[in-house]
């Protein structure tokens, strides 16, 4: 087994365990891994951005003089982001910010009404109350038709208006609906968090197609790290 094969695997195992060591408590392994991760991910993003800028210049914007000027203008506007680090020229950063925010909002608003508003209302209106031969789906559709307007009304009215007249009952249904929604979201969140743990555990155990060398690295590094964490805990001066 060559060093070039082992080194990336042992490094990956070390950083995985260093990040998970936070579960034991704040410690230098975690701090080190956290800082390295932040640095590496920023470096990666910067490299990708520069690569993209180069590709755009070589294959597109450098073709004619007019396009080159536009490219340099865009580049200069991009550099204004860094004005935010200087108190005197801070205001220049707002120009770039305005362009980005304006473009982003403009792009989204173009279709947001259709995509996330009208289409959803149409879909809700089209739901059939009864589906022959599918009692469960029929029940689900009836619930949907009752619950959705209740939640909308709950947020429409505020304060005391929610607790008077028919709104009293509507608010109750809406609260149960919202709680059911939160429950579903919580359940799926737990699923995701455990999926992440399972994925990393598969890597640490060297389950194929992960590199099998990870298993030995896992056992060795985990033992060393655990011993050092316990030692660190014992030697750390206690706050009185």
Closest CA relative to residue 222, chosen from 11, 61, 13, 50: 13
Dihedral sign from CA coordinates of 21, 27, 31, 32: negative
- DSSP state for residue 178 in the 8-state scheme: H
Q: Which stretch binds another protein (CB under 8 A): 26-34, 77-85, 87-95, 106-114?
A: 106-114
CA distance 17 to 20: 5
Q: Does 44 bind another protein (CB under 8 A)?
A: yes
Q: Which of 1, 3, 4, 23 binds another protein (CB under 8 A)?
A: 23
- Kindly tell me which of 48 and 90 has the beta carbon lying closer to another protein: 48
> What's the min distance (Å) between Cβ of 199 and another protein?
2
Q: Does 39 bind another protein (CB under 8 A)?
A: no
Cis before residue 200, ω within 30 degrees of 0?
Answer: no
- Kindly tell me which of 119 and 163 has the beta carbon lying closer to another protein: 119
- Cα distances (Å, whole numbers) of residue 87 to 76, 92, 93: 19, 10, 11
- Kindly tell me which of 202 and 228 has the beta carbon lying closer to another protein: 202
How many chain residues interact with another protein (CB under 8 A)? Answer: 46
- Kindly tell me which of 101 and 161 has the beta carbon lying closer to another protein: 101
- Kindly tell me which of 106 and 165 has the beta carbon lying closer to another protein: 106
CA distance 227 to 27: 13
Q: Does 116 bind another protein (CB under 8 A)?
A: yes
Q: Which of 11, 120, 164, 220 binds another protein (CB under 8 A)?
A: 120
Say if residues 13 and 221 touch (Cβ distance below 8 Å).
yes
């Amino acid at each position: 087994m060559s060093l070039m094969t082992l080194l990336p695997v042992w490094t990956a195992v070390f950083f995985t365990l260093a990040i998970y060591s936070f579960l034991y408590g704040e410690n230098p392994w975690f701090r080190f891994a956290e800082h390295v991760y932040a640095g590496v991910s920023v470096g990666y993003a910067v490299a990708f951005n520069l690569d993209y800028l180069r590709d755009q210049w070589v294959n597109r914007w450098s073709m004619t003089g007019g396009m080159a000027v536009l490219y340099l203008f865009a580049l200069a506007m991009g550099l204004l982001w860094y004005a935010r680090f200087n108190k005197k020229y801070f205001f220049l950063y707002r120009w770039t910010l305005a362009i980005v925010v304006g473009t982003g909002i403009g792009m989204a608003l173009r279709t947001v009404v259709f995509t996330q508003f009208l289409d959803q209302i149409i879909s809700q209106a089209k739901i059939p109350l009864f589906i022959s031969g599918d009692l469960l789906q029929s029940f689900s559709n009836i619930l949907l038709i009752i619950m959705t307007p209740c939640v909308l009304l709950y947020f429409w009215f505020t304060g005391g208006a929610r607790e008077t007249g028919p709104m009293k009952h509507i608010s109750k249904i809406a609260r149960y609906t919202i709680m059911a929604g939160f429950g579903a979201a919580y359940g799926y969140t737990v699923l995701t968090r455990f999926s992440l743990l399972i994925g990393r555990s598969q890597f640490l155990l060297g389950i194929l197609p992960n590199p099998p060398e990870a298993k030995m690295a896992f056992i060795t590094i985990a033992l060393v790290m655990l011993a050092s964490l316990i030692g660190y805990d014992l030697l750390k001066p206690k706050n009185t």
